[in-house]
Amino acid sequence: MRKTIIEFVRRYAIIAAASIYPFAGLAGTPVIYTDGSKPLFEMEVPDFWSLRTGGLRDLASPEQSDDFRDISRLFGMTPDAHEGIWVGVISPFGVTTLPEARAYLRDIGPFLVQDAAVEPPKARRINGLNASSLSGTGRREGRDVSFTVLAIDLPGARVAIAAVVIEAGADLAPIGDVNAMLASIQAVR
């Protein structure tokens, strides 16, 4: 009898934990993007997402292996339980305005997505900051993808650029997390 009660309690605890599990993804970990020792912006990375960071590096063009671009520190994030979704955030050196961000994206776009069909940019506001977004479709590493890029005008003549790339057929369950992550970007003052 005692063993039956313990087994019942154990099963009930698992069911209770499973019923609140969907709310666990609402929490996040704050991260701060810096340029050297100067903090530029912060954002929240949801629980159950992997964050990889990288410093200055060269990125080779997918079409021409001898065509390189310098890339600033990058935050790259993927959901742990879902493949085919990637979010990258960067604040490129020398990009100080939203028009410069659009020029930067035209230059670096082919490194991220090939054969891109892009919709016109849309004006946005993120946490009181001017922003611009554009969306489109294309191919990445031979796969069909859709993408959205968000450029946010930061104080101090800097811009944050976030890119979301989603492979065709990917499970879209993490899109709420992606939107919350992008909406959490705010300048460090």
Q: Could you report the per-residue pLDDT of 106-147, keeping only the tens digit for each?
A: 887 777 788 999 999 999 999 999 999 999 999 988 999 999
Work out the pLDDT band at 15, boundaries 50, 70, 90.
Answer: very low
Work out the pLDDT band at 56, boundaries 50, 70, 90.
Answer: low
pLDDT in the model for residue 187: 96
Among the four given CATH numbers 2.40.128.20, 3.10.50.40, 3.20.20.10, 3.40.1000.10, the one describing domain 25-187: 3.40.1000.10
Is pLDDT larger for residue 25 or for residue 81? 81
- What is residue 93's three-state secondary structure? coil
Buried b or exposed e, range 52-68, using 16+ CB within 10 angstroms: eeeeeeeeeebeeeeee
* Closest to 135 measured CA to CA, from 158, 160, 166, 108: 166
* Closest to 49 measured CA to CA, from 84, 86, 79, 87: 79
- Whether residue 19 is predicted with pLDDT greater than 90 in this model: the reply is no
pTM above 0.85, yes or no: no
Instruction: Provide the residue type at 152 as one letter.
Output: I
pLDDT in the model for residue 102: 92
The average pLDDT across 97-110 equals 88
Q: How far, in Å, CA of 37 to CA of 53, rounded?
A: 15
- How many of the other CB atoms lie within 10 Å of CB of 84? 17
- Whether residue 7 is predicted with pLDDT greater than 60 in this model: the reply is no
The average pLDDT across 169-185 equals 96
- Whether residue 13 is predicted with pLDDT greater than 60 in this model: the reply is no
Q: Mean pLDDT, the chain, as a whole number?
A: 82
